[in-house]
C-alpha cells in the first residue's frame, strides 16, 4: 500500500519507537519507506512484518525497504539484505497493528462526496461538526448529537435523540436506534442494528402473544468494535450495555438487558439470550450460546461451541454444551469416542455374545 508520505527509516524509528513497541533499529538506517505490504507481496520500497522464524527463513534474502522482526530473531538480523532497515520489536503483533494504523489504514473520509451529501436527510435540530462526514441517503432524526471526526456512511439511519461520540465510524446500512449512545472511537460495520426492539412478550390463556414495550436503550462505551450484521437489542427499562474495549465479530446477537464487560472478544455466531451478565476479558469462540439470565465472571474462555446454561463463577477455560471445565471436556470426549468399544467389553464380561457392528 502506498503511503501518503515517505519515511526515512531512522526518522520513522524516532517517531514511533515508544508508541509502537520498537526497541532498536539496525541495518540500513537511511532506507526510504514508501509503502507497507505483506511479506509475500512486498517490494523494494515497502515495510513488511516478519512475525516468526519460518517466515524469516523464507524471505530473508528479499530486498525490502524495511522489516520489523521480533526481538527473538534479532540475533539473525545480519542475514538480511544490507539495503534493508531492520526494526526490532518487543511485541511483534502489537507493532504490526499500531504501525499499520499509522501508515496504511484506510481513509473512510475519501469518498469523493462533499462532507454532507446532498441526499442526506438531517433534522434541523442536528448540528454536524465540520470534521464529520455524512454519506448519501443517510437519515438523522431530531435531537441527535454527533461528535467530531465521525464517518457516517451511506444509508445509515440514526433515530431521534441518539448520541454519537467522537471519532466514530458507522458503515453503510447501519441503524442506531432512538436514545442509544455510542462512545468515542467506536467502529461499527455494515448492516448492524443497535437498539432494535428487545424480544419481550407475554402469553395469555390462548397462547396469544402480547408485546412488552422495550423502552430502555443500548449504551456502547469507548473503543468498541461491532462487526457486520450484528443485532444488539435495547433493554426493557434500562440499558443493554457493552463496556470499553470489547470487540465483536460479524453475525452475533445480543438480546435485551445484557451487560458485557471490558475488553471481551466475541467471535462470529455468538448468541446471547436476555439479561445475561458477562465479565471483563471474556473470550467467546465461534458459535457460543448463552441461556438467559446467566452470569459469567471475569477471565473466562468459552471454547468449542460452548453452550452456557448456568453461571460460571471461576475463571478458566470451558467447552462444549452444556459447558464443562476444559479438562473434564477433553476426558469426556475421549470416553465418548470409545463408548462402543466399552459396551462390547461389558457384554463380554457379562457373558453375552458381542454385538454386530450395526447392533
Report the alpha-carbon distance of residue 309 to residue 312 in Å, rounded. Answer: 9
User: 137: how many CB neighbours lie within 10 A of its CB?
Assistant: 16
CB 154 within 8 A of CB 137: yes
Residue 162: pLDDT above 60? yes
Task: Give the residue extent of every domain in the chain.
Answer: 2-103, 121-331
Whether 55 contacts 20, CB under 8 Å? no
Q: From residue 254, how far is each of 22, 74, 179, 320 by CA, in Å?
A: 38, 45, 18, 20
Q: Which of 2-16, 66-80, 104-118 is the most confident on average?
A: 66-80
* Per-residue pLDDT, 356: 60
pLDDT category of residue 4 using cuts at 50, 70 and 90: low
Q: For residue range 204-214, what is the model confidence (pLDDT) as tens digits?
A: 999 999 999 99
Positions marked active-site: 256
Q: Looking at domain 121-331, does it have CATH number 1.10.10.10? A: no
Does the pTM of the predicted model rise above 0.85?
Answer: yes
Domains 2-103 and 121-331 are alike in CATH topology: no
Mean pLDDT throughout 136-159? 98
Read off the pLDDT band of 354 (50, 70, 90). low
Tell me the mean pLDDT in the region 117-140.
Answer: 97
The C-alpha cell of 348 is what?
463380554
pLDDT for residue 336: 65
Of the candidate ranges 92-96, 196-200, 335-339, the one whose mean pLDDT is the lowest = 335-339
Question: How does residue 36 score in pLDDT terms, banded at 50, 70 and 90?
Answer: very high
pLDDT of 78 over the 90 cut: yes
- The conformational region for residue 245 under phi > 0 = left, psi -120 to 50 = alpha, else beta, is left
pLDDT(355) > 80? no
Those residues with Cβ within 8 angstroms of residue 196's Cβ, 6 or more apart along the chain or in another chain: 175, 177, 231, 232, 233, 234
- Rounded to an integer, what distance in angstroms lies between the CA atom of residue 267 and that of residue 273? 16
> How confident is the model at residue 77, as a pLDDT?
95
**Looking at the DSSP assignment, which residues form a beta bridge with residue 5?**
none
* CATH classification number, 2-103, choose in 2.40.50.140, 1.10.3720.10, 2.20.25.90, 3.40.1390.10: 3.40.1390.10
| Type and span of the H or E element at 93 | helix 92-103
Give phi and psi for 215, each to the nearest 5.
Answer: -110, 10
Q: φ and ψ at 229, to 5 degrees?
A: 60, 35
pLDDT tens across 181-198, in order? Answer: 999 999 999 999 999 999
Share of the chain above pLDDT 70, in %: 95
* Cβ atoms of 49 and 87 closer than 8 Å: no
Residue 11 has a pLDDT of 95
Element containing residue 242 per DSSP (H, E):
strand 239-242
- Average pLDDT rounded to a whole number, residues 73-81: 95
- What is the percent of the chain where pLDDT is above 90? 83
C-alpha cell of 227?
A: 462487526
Cβ neighbourhood burial of 301 (10 Å; 0-12, 13-18, 19+): middle
Q: Which range is least confidently modeled, 113-122, 177-186, 342-351?
A: 342-351
Residue 327 has pLDDT above 90, yes or no: no
Helix, strand, or coil (residue 351): coil
Tell me the per-residue pLDDT of 214-252, one tens digit each, with 9 for 90 and over: 999 999 999 999 999 999 999 999 999 999 999 999 999
Confidence of residue 115 (pLDDT cuts 50, 70, 90): very high
- The confidence score (pLDDT) of residue 323 equals 79
Amino acid at each position: 500500500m502506498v503511503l501518503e508520505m515517505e519515511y526515512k527509516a531512522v526518522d520513522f524509528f524516532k517517531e514511533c519507537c515508544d508508541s509502537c513497541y520498537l526497541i532498536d533499529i539496525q541495518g540500513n538506517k537511511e532506507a526510504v519507506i514508501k509503502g507497507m505490504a505483506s511479506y509475500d507481496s512486498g517490494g523494494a520500497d515497502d515495510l513488511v512484518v516478519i512475525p516468526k522464524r519460518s517466515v524469516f527463513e523464507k524471505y530473508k534474502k528479499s530486498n525490502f525497504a524495511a522489516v520489523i522482526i521480533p526481538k527473538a530473531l534479532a540475533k539473525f538480523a545480519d542475514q538480511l539484505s544490507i539495503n534493508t532497515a531492520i526494526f526490532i520489536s518487543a511485541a511483534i503483533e502489537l507493532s504490526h497493528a499500531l504501525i499499520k494504523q499509522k501508515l496504511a489504514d484506510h481513509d473512510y473520509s475519501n469518498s469523493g462526496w462533499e462532507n454532507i451529501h446532498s441526499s442526506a436527510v438531517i433534522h434541523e435540530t442536528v448540528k454536524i461538526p465540520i470534521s464529520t462526514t455524512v454519506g448519501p441517503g443517510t437519515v438523522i432524526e431530531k435531537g441527535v448529537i454527533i461528535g467530531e471526526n465521525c464517518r457516517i456512511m451511506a444509508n445509515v439511519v440514526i433515530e431521534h435523540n441518539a448520541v454519537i461520540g467522537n471519532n466514530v465510524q458507522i458503515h453503510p446500512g447501519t441503524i442506531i436506534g432512538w436514545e442509544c449512545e455510542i462512545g468515542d472511537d467506536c467502529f461499527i460495520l455494515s448492516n448492524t442494528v443497535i437498539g432494535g426492539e428487545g424480544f419481550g412478550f407475554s402469553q395469555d390463556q390462548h397462547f396469544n402473544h402480547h408485546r412488552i414495550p422495550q423502552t430502555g436503550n443500548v449504551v456502547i462505551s469507548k473503543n468498541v468494535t461491532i462487526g457486520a450484521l450484528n443485532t444488539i437489542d435495547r433493554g426493557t427499562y434500562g440499558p443493554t450495555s457493552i463496556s470499553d474495549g470489547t470487540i465483536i465479530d460479524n453475525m452475533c446477537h445480543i438480546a435485551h438487558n445484557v451487560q458485557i464487560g471490558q475488553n471481551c472478544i466475541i467471535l462470529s455466531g455468538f448468541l446471547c439470550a436476555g439479561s445475561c451478565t458477562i465479565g471483563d476479558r471474556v473470550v467467546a469462540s465461534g458459535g457460543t450460546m448463552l441461556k438467559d439470565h446467566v452470569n459469567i465472571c471475569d477471565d473466562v474462555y468459552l471454547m468449542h461451541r460452548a453452550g452456557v446454561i448456568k453461571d460460571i463463577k471461576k475463571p478458566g477455560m470451558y467447552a462444549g454444551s452444556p459447558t464443562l471445565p476444559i479438562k473434564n471436556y477433553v476426558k469426556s470426549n475421549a470416553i465418548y469416542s470409545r463408548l462402543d468399544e466399552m459396551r462390547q467389553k461389558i457384554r463380554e464380561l457379562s457373558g453375552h455374545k458381542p454385538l454386530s457392528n450395526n447392533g
